[in-house]
Amino acid sequence: MTKLQPVRGTQDLIGEEARRHGHVVATARRVAGLYGCTEWSTPIFEATSVFSRNLGETSDVVTKEMYTFEDRGGDSITLRPEGTAGVCRALVSNGLTQTLPQKIFYTGPMFRYERPQKGRYRQFHQIGLEIIGAAEPLADAEAIACGWQILRELGITESVTLNINTLGDRESRDGYRAALVEYLSRYEGELSAESKVRLVKNPLRILDTKDAGDIRLLEKAPVIYQHLNAASAAFYDGLKAALQQMGIRFVENPRIVRGFDYYNHTAFEFVSTGLGAQGTVLGGGRYDQLVEQMGGPPTPGIGWGAGIERLAMLLAEPPALPRPVAVIPMSEAETEEAIAVAVWLRNQGIATDIGYRGNFKRRLERSNKINAMYAVIIGQDEVARGVVTLKSLDDGTQREVAVGDLAAAVS
Does the pLDDT value for residue 79 go beyond 90? yes
pLDDT tens string 316-331: 887 788 899 999 999 9
Query: 297 and 356: one domain?
Result: no
CATH number at residue 365: 3.40.50.800
Does the pLDDT value for residue 106 go beyond 90? yes
Instruction: Give domain status of residue 184, yes or no.
Output: no
> Which region among 131-145, 153-167, 253-267, 395-409 has the lowest average model confidence (pLDDT)?
253-267
Report in angstroms the alpha-carbon separations of 133 from 140, 287, 293: 12, 11, 15
pLDDT of amino acid 204: 85
Distance between CA atoms of residues 101 and 261, nearest Å: 23
Query: 282 and 330: one domain?
Result: no
**Which of 276, 295, 314 is the last residue in one of the domains?**
314
Query: 22 and 135: one domain?
Result: yes
Q: Give the mean pLDDT of the chain.
A: 91
Please indicate whether residue 190 or residue 118 has the higher confidence score (pLDDT).
190
- Cβ count within 10 A of residue 405: 12
Does the pLDDT value for residue 381 go beyond 60? yes
Query: 389 and 282: one domain?
Result: no
Instruction: Give domain status of residue 196, yes or no.
Output: no
pLDDT of amino acid 210: 83
pLDDT of amino acid 89: 96
Asked if 94 and 100 touch (Cβ cutoff 8 Å), the reply is no
Residues annotated in a binding site for L-histidine: 82-84, 112, 126, 130, 258, 262-263
Does the pLDDT value for residue 300 go beyond 70? yes
Range of the domain at 383: 325-410
Distance between CA atoms of residues 345 and 372, nearest Å: 14
End-to-end CA gap in the chain: 50
pLDDT of amino acid 61: 65
Instruction: Give domain status of residue 223, yes or no.
Output: no
> Which of helix, strand or coil describes residue 83?
coil
Asked if 91 and 124 touch (Cβ cutoff 8 Å), the reply is no
Instruction: Give domain status of residue 56, yes or no.
Output: yes
Query: 62 and 130: one domain?
Result: yes
**Which of 260, 290, 314 is the last residue in one of the domains?**
314
pLDDT of amino acid 259: 61
Residues annotated in a binding site: 82-84, 112, 126, 130, 258, 262-263
pLDDT tens string 88-103: 999 999 999 999 999 9
Question: Count of residues for the chain?
Answer: 411
Instruction: Give domain status of residue 131, yes or no.
Output: yes
Instruction: Give domain status of residue 58, yes or no.
Output: yes
| Strand residue runs (E) in 11-61 | 38-39, 45-47
97: phi then psi, degrees, rounded to nearest 5: -75, -5
How many domains does one find in the chain? 2
Cβ neighbours for 318, distance < 8 A, ≥ 6 positions apart:
16, 19, 20, 23, 312
pLDDT of amino acid 64: 74
Query: 153 and 22: one domain?
Result: yes
| Residue 300: HSE in the Cβ half-sphere, 13 Å Cα cutoff | 16
| Mean pLDDT calculated for residue range 335-340 | 93
pLDDT of amino acid 124: 95
Instruction: Give domain status of residue 289, yes or no.
Output: yes
Distance between CA atoms of residues 306 and 390, nearest Å: 46
Query: 260 and 368: one domain?
Result: no
306 band by pLDDT with thresholds 50, 70 and 90: very high
What is the greatest pairwise CA distance in the chain? 94
Query: 158 and 69: one domain?
Result: yes
Query: 38 and 106: one domain?
Result: yes
pLDDT of amino acid 281: 93
Query: 306 and 360: one domain?
Result: no
pLDDT tens string 40-74: 999 999 999 999 875 655 455 666 789 999 999 99
Query: 80 and 154: one domain?
Result: yes
CATH number at residue 254: 3.30.930.10
Distance between CA atoms of residues 358 and 352, nearest Å: 18
pTM: 0.89
Query: 88 and 153: one domain?
Result: yes
2 band by pLDDT with thresholds 50, 70 and 90: confident
**Which of 291, 314, 337 is the last residue in one of the domains?**
314
CA 402 to chain centre: 46
Distance between CA atoms of residues 161 and 309, nearest Å: 19
